[in-house]
Structure 1
Amino acid sequence: MDILLTHCAGLDVHQKEIVVCALTSSDDESIQKEIKTFPTLTKSLFELLKWLEEKEITHIAMESTGIYWKPVYNILEGYFDITLANAQRIKNVPGRKTDVSDAEWIAKLLRHGLIEKSFVPSQDLRQLRDLTRLRKKWIGNLTAEKNRISKVLEVSNIKLGSVISDIFGVSGRRLLNQLVEKGFIDRSDVDANIHHSLRKKADTISESLFGTLDEHQLFMIKCSWNHIEFLEKSIDDLEQKIETLLQSYQEEKEILLTIPGVKKHTVACIIAEIGTDMNQFPSSRHLASWAGVSPGNNESAGKKKGAKNVQGNPHIKSALCEVAWAISRSKDTSMSSVFWALSARRGKKKALQAIAHKVIRIIYTLLINKQPFSEPRLAG
């Protein structure tokens, strides 16, 4: 097998230590192998950097399992050509498995150019990715707290949710805030806090607020309400930070906003997860597979069998599915017609993935050509 790299190293990264195998070769093609173990403390990582430089290492490779590779990558980035490998694609042959053998196996694969690089975004995109993922987590927590308040109200036989479509709208929030402050709501409070469009339901709203709310349930509502206010303030601060980081990608942001169903928060997620340089993906099909929206392929002896969908980046996949649902509810887009035609034959889940697959390939084309989206013209 051809040798592509003469000075390379394989790293087997763990929580407390890193096993490094350095492979170097001289002009007479003799291979020198040296294995060394380093702790994962910051000082030790700089010692690892110095040791690799002394060995004149130019390329290193390590697995992308967990989060333990990140501090190593952050320190070694810029000094070496780093290959972050998919752990499933560089599994060692069955047998005696040790940290030393894993590091040596990674180094040998890298030496012969048999490791495909995983996509690692730039530092500013990694920061944006952390923020968008945190926002998604906090939105989930916010929804959980709202559901918890709705549950306590139902348990105490307060039927506000049956009268008002959204108890966390303007009028609902005023009533809940009054409930948290006073512990009860009378008819005068209802008249003073409901929106003008709900005044015709004032009697029904007042009756729905008559329940059996005790001190324990009121305490539960107060706790959730305070948490909701904290989360909403935190999410607002987070979104301002995201907008600040997105200022460097205004052109790409405007292009993505032209796609049906794509809003500003979705744009932030898309840019954070896949970046803006589409040259890192060989084609739109590769990007769709990386995102996990491509159908599986299982063919043998000329027969195609059922296959599971490929697993990819769950964050971009969920964002694409949200876009696909938004497209399905629109009326003036060609992709909406495709969705409902597919859902009639294959079901909504398969139609949803098909639209998500189409959207990610559109994103690839728009970003690589720097052109906004335009609806295709129908023939005739």
Structure 2
Amino acid sequence: MEVFIERCAGLDVHSETIVACIMTGRHDDELFKQTETFPTFTKDLYRLLQWLESHEVTHIAMESTGVYWKPVFNILEDFFDITLANAQRIKNVPGRKTDVSDAEWIAKLLRYGLIEKSFVPPVDIRELRDLTRLRKKWIGHLTSEKNRIQKVLECSNVKLSTVISDVFGVSGRKLLERLVEQGYVDEVDVETRIHGKLKAKKQMISDSLFGTLNEHQRFLIRQSWQHIEYLEKQITEIEERVDLLLQNYQEELQLLMTIPGVKKDTAAIIIAEIGVDMRQFPTSQNLASWAGVSLGNKESAGKRFSTKTVKGNPHIKSALCEAAWAVSRCRNRWLATKYWSIATRKGKKKALVALSHRMLRIIYSMLINKESFKEMQIS
């Protein structure tokens, strides 16, 4: 088998140790192989760097196991061509398995050019990715706390949610604050705390707030309310940080926002997850497969058994499905027409994934050509 890389190394990365195997030489009869084990402390990572440089290693491969690869990658990325490999695709052959044999196997696969690189975005995109994922987590906690307050209100027979569509809007918050303060809200308080169209529902709102809210329930609501205020402050700080990191990607951000159903938050997630340099993905089909919105292909003896989507990046997949659901409710849109065409035949869930697939391939083309979204005419 032809050797593609003369000086390479395979790293088997664990929580406490890194097993590194160096292979150098153009032909198998002149192969030099050496294996060393290093702890994962920062000073030992720099010692690993010096050891690799002393053997004039040019390429490195390692598994993407958990988060253990990240500190190693951060220190070595400026000095070597690093291939981060999918652990599923470089499994060792059955037999005796040790950390040393795993490191040798990784180095051997890299030497013969048999490892496909995983996508690792640049540092600023990685930072943006951390922020958008954290924002999503905080928003989930925020929704949980709001649901918890709704549950306590229902238990005390306060039916505010049946009258006001958004209990946590401006008027709803003022009413809840007064309710927590004194345990009840009279008609005068209602009149001074509601705005706009809600004034026509003044009597219904007063009736809905008449419940049996006791001190224990007020304490529970107060605890959730304080957490909501804290989470909202945290989310605001994250969004400010996201805006700062997006300053270098304003062109791509504006392009993505021309797609129906894609707003600023969704566009930020797309940039954070796939980056802006589409040369990382050979084709739009590769990108769709990486994101997990492509149909699977399980075929044997001429029979096709399953088309279930493969596991991909859950963050970009969920963002695209949300955007697809938003665009499905837009009138006179070509993408909405495609969604309902598929939904009538295969159901809404499959239609969402299909539309997400189409939108991602459109995004790939837009970022490659630096062109805004062009709406197709509905025939």
Same fold at TM > 0.5: yes
Structure 1 residues 123-148: Cα deviation after superposition (integer angstroms, max 9, x where no partner): 00000000000011011011000000
Judge conservation of contact 2:3–2:26 (CA < 8 Å) in 1. no
**Cα distance in 2, alignment partners of residues 127 and 27 from structure 1:** 42
Alignment of 1:271-282 (within 5 A): 271-282=271-282
Is residue 200 from structure 1 mapped to residue 200 from structure 2 by the alignment? yes
Q: CA deviation at 1:279?
A: 1.1
Structure 1 residues 221-271: Cα deviation after superposition (integer angstroms, max 9, x where no partner): 001001111111111111111011001011111111111110000110000
In structure 2, the residue matched to 1:67 is 67
Q: CA deviation at 1:28?
A: 8.8
Q: Write the letter of the residue equivalent to 1:158.
A: V
After TM superposition, the structure 1 stretch with the greater mean CA deviation from structure 2, 239-248 or 190-199, is: 190-199
**Cα distance in 1, alignment partners of residues 174 and 73 from structure 2:** 50
In structure 2, the residue matched to 1:352 is 352
In structure 1, the residue matched to 2:324 is 324
1:301–1:135 CA distance, 2 compared to 1 (3 A): same
After TM superposition, the structure 1 stretch with the greater mean CA deviation from structure 2, 38-47 or 303-312, is: 303-312
Is residue 253 from structure 1 mapped to residue 253 from structure 2 by the alignment? yes
In structure 1, the residue matched to 2:153 is 153
1:32–1:153 CA distance, 2 compared to 1 (3 A): same
In structure 1, the residue matched to 2:144 is 144
In structure 1, the residue matched to 2:333 is 333
**Cα distance in 2, alignment partners of residues 154 and 337 from structure 1:** 40
Q: CA deviation at 1:27?
A: 7.8
Judge conservation of contact 2:334–2:378 (CA < 8 Å) in 1. no
Structure 1 residues 167-224: Cα deviation after superposition (integer angstroms, max 9, x where no partner): 1111101111112233332222111101131122212211211211111111110010
**Cα distance in 1, alignment partners of residues 329 and 265 from structure 2:** 19
**Cα distance in 1, alignment partners of residues 218 and 26 from structure 2:** 76
In structure 2, the residue matched to 1:290 is 290
After TM superposition, the structure 1 stretch with the greater mean CA deviation from structure 2, 220-229 or 188-197, is: 188-197
Sequence identity, in percent?
Answer: 64
Alignment of 1:107-256 (within 5 A): 107-256=107-256
Is residue 52 from structure 1 mapped to residue 35 from structure 2 by the alignment? no
Other structure's SS at 2:19 match: strand
**Cα distance in 2, alignment partners of residues 48 and 63 from structure 1:** 17
Structure 2 residue runs of 5 or longer lacking an equivalent are none
Q: Write the letter of the residue equivalent to 2:362.
A: I
**Cα distance in 2, alignment partners of residues 375 and 199 from structure 1:** 41
Structure 1 residue runs of 5 or longer lacking an equivalent are none
Q: CA deviation at 1:302?
A: 2.6
TM-score by length of 1: 0.97
Q: CA deviation at 1:378?
A: 4.9
Q: Write the letter of the residue equivalent to 1:365.
A: S
1:75–1:218 CA distance, 2 compared to 1 (3 A): same
Structure 1 residues 312-342: Cα deviation after superposition (integer angstroms, max 9, x where no partner): 1000000110111011100121111111111
Other structure's SS at 2:82 match: strand
Structure 1 residues 341-380: Cα deviation after superposition (integer angstroms, max 9, x where no partner): 111110001111110000000000000001111112356x
In structure 2, the residue matched to 1:268 is 268
**Cα distance in 2, alignment partners of residues 27 and 213 from structure 1:** 81
Other structure's SS at 2:306 match: coil
**Cα distance in 2, alignment partners of residues 27 and 206 from structure 1:** 86
In structure 2, the residue matched to 1:377 is 377
Q: CA deviation at 1:98?
A: 1.2
**Cα distance in 2, alignment partners of residues 26 and 101 from structure 1:** 21
Other structure's SS at 1:305 match: strand
**Cα distance in 1, alignment partners of residues 235 and 35 from structure 2:** 47
In structure 1, the residue matched to 2:41 is 41
Structure 1 residues 7-50: Cα deviation after superposition (integer angstroms, max 9, x where no partner): 11111111111111111226895111111111111111111111
**Cα distance in 2, alignment partners of residues 28 and 17 from structure 1:** 29
Other structure's SS at 1:377 match: coil
**Cα distance in 2, alignment partners of residues 332 and 377 from structure 1:** 9
Judge conservation of contact 2:339–2:351 (CA < 8 Å) in 1. yes
**Cα distance in 2, alignment partners of residues 37 and 181 from structure 1:** 62
Other structure's SS at 1:10 match: strand
1:185–1:2 CA distance, 2 compared to 1 (3 A): same
1:378–1:206 CA distance, 2 compared to 1 (3 A): closer
Other structure's SS at 1:5 match: coil
In structure 1, the residue matched to 2:77 is 77
